[in-house]
Structure 1
């Protein structure tokens, strides 16, 4: 054991040893992403600065001839760095720009592009890690391809779980059923609209923001949907919506809500949430209630919510918010996307890449 450790510490390149700091950081980020779907921005800046410093160190070693290999190897090194920063780093930004990634996912991928542009080398007696290497030699690209493969396992697990539990539906390959009343305790998005299954359902973070803004619970909304569908029931002084995260206790309640409200009793909800007006206090004709020939002109106060927060509720539209609330108010069981955080398979892929190498490259090699 001592011999292995001594060889590892003395024979492995010092920049590559320092790059291993990324492993515990990504482990913590994956844990945070599972628990809260939030990874603080401060997580990535130190890793990015470390990556820049180590990259500068490697460039210095290459330019002074300290790096093993001749001119051709140095040229390949520079090409791999350019591919990592220009392609993998740009992919992270583009995926975020087009909505395919969250901010933390994009920052994590960009950090990996800076921190691991080329294959590291970890020396042990009689072996070295990673065990396999690709011809391209861009290690951040290896991590990305392994992330895709690891992430592809999750839908298979979801499908198997749904099949074994008897939940069979066209959406069973990408979703899971939950009690509608528990939607505020889950991350992901609804896979339903009033018309049926859909990939474009309400983001559950946006749902929590809306409920906090109104100062009500989902239980109260389900108990008396007509009351809250009326836009005249909106509070005069809405509460800050927050960022849509789930509190540590798991319950999402309004600022004036009591335990009795969380049980779903309508009278308790009215007493606890004094900022929400009783529709009986308003005129009932269509004009006074803010309605047109088809009903309310802003059902659920969805447009008022989005206008008031002066920002984006994770891309949610007023129509999407209304449809989601209609589903949650009417259904007992709904389907949601499990919404597995991308940083989780990215962390697993990082470990697999450091130990084994590129799984996709090896699979292609076996098939050809």
Structure 2
């Protein structure tokens, strides 16, 4: 073991060895993503700065002629760096802009584009890792393609699980059934409306924000849906909604009583107190009042979407939700595969062609 470790440490390029710092950081981020769906922004800045420093180191080595292959190899190096930063980094940003990625997912992909623009090299006594390399030679692109392949296995597993447990429905390929009472302890989105299945149902983070804002619980909503549907039941002074994450205790909020407003309460014309004072106010569940009152948005939730989701949760005992697979988890697994083996997609294409 000492021999191969000595070989790795002495024969591998020092910048590539330092890039391995990303492995434990991504492992921790994947763990956080599973447990809380929240990864602190501070996670990515040190890695990004490390990537910039190592890229500058690589450029100085290439400029000094340390890269075998002469002018052609240098040109390929700069092209690969440009592709990694310009294409893979842009993919992360654009997917976040259009709502395909969360903020942490986009930052993680951008960090990979900076940290791993070209294939690293790790020299062992009998082999050099990664075992396979692509013609393009952009390592961050390899991690991205491997992430897609690893991530594709998850819906397959979800489908098999649903089939084996007898949960057969049109939504079984992308969702899983849960007890409605457990909805506030899950991440994902509701895949149902009163009209049937949908792929754009209520985000469960937004549900937790709403319950916290009202100072109530899902159990209380299910016990007395008629009261909660009435805008007159809105509290005088709603709570701060939070960010919708699941508390470590598992408790979302404590219920408070709402009494009709006579005078006092909130002064804003469209706030909860004003809504309760107007008997003609058409706002089932106080959904519009909630979204008007909070600062920012609740993960793109609309008043209609929130009201429809609450209708389903109040009536059904079992609901379907999206599993909410955190993207950083397959990205971490893909990083490990990429560092050891290389590009799975490139290998599959080579075999098929």
- Show CA shifts across 1:222-241 (max 9, x none): 10011011111111111010
Matches within 5 A, 1:128-147: 128-147=128-147
| Residue 174 of structure 1 pairs with residue 156 of structure 2 | no
Instruction: State TM-score, norm by structure 1.
Output: 0.90
Cα 1:297–1:52 change in 2 (3 A) is: same
- Show CA shifts across 1:129-178 (max 9, x none): 00000000000000000000000000010011111111100000110001
Cα 1:219–1:278 change in 2 (3 A) is: farther
- Show CA shifts across 1:268-320 (max 9, x none): xxxxx13x2279xxxxxxx997455xxx5111111111111121101111111
| Residue 334 of structure 1 pairs with residue 319 of structure 2 | yes
When structure 1 is superposed on structure 2, of 102-111 and 63-72 the one drifting more is: 63-72
| Residue 37 of structure 1 pairs with residue 37 of structure 2 | yes
Q: Distance in 2 between matches of 1:345 and 1:146?
A: 8
Q: Distance in 1 between matches of 2:313 and 2:101?
A: 26
| Residue 251 of structure 1 pairs with residue 251 of structure 2 | yes
Q: Is the 8 A contact 2:231 2:276 kept in 1?
A: no
| Root-mean-square deviation (Å) | 1.4
Q: Report the equivalent of 1:52.
A: 52
Cα 1:233–1:2 change in 2 (3 A) is: same
Q: Is the 8 A contact 2:33 2:328 kept in 1?
A: yes
Matches within 5 A, 1:159-170: 159-170=159-170
Q: Is the 8 A contact 2:217 2:252 kept in 1?
A: yes
Cα 1:173–1:288 change in 2 (3 A) is: closer
**1:69, distance to aligned residue in structure 2 (A):** 2.2
| Residue 303 of structure 1 pairs with residue 285 of structure 2 | no
Q: Report the equivalent of 1:269.
A: none
- Show CA shifts across 1:31-66 (max 9, x none): 000000000000000000000000010011111112
- Show CA shifts across 1:244-285 (max 9, x none): 00011222123xx4xxxxxxxxxxxxxxx13x2279xxxxxx
Match of 1:349 among 334, 341, 344: 334
**1:76, distance to aligned residue in structure 2 (A):** 0.1
Q: Report the equivalent of 2:16.
A: 16
Q: Distance in 2 between matches of 1:192 and 1:27?
A: 33
**1:349, distance to aligned residue in structure 2 (A):** 0.1
Q: Report the equivalent of 2:345.
A: 360
How many pairs were matched up? 340
- Show CA shifts across 1:170-222 (max 9, x none): 00011000111110000000000010000010000000000000000000001
Q: Report the equivalent of 2:187.
A: 187
Q: Report the equivalent of 2:259.
A: 277
Q: Report the equivalent of 2:70.
A: 70
Q: Report the equivalent of 1:88.
A: 88
Q: Is the 8 A contact 1:37 1:245 kept in 2?
A: yes
Q: Report the equivalent of 1:26.
A: 26
Structure 2 gaps of 5+ residues are 262-274
**1:68, distance to aligned residue in structure 2 (A):** 2.4
Q: Distance in 2 between matches of 1:25 and 1:134?
A: 26
> What's the secondary structure of 1:110's corresponding residue?
helix
When structure 1 is superposed on structure 2, of 91-100 and 60-69 the one drifting more is: 60-69
Instruction: State TM-score, norm by structure 2.
Output: 0.94
| Residue 325 of structure 1 pairs with residue 307 of structure 2 | no
Q: Is the 8 A contact 1:190 1:203 kept in 2?
A: yes
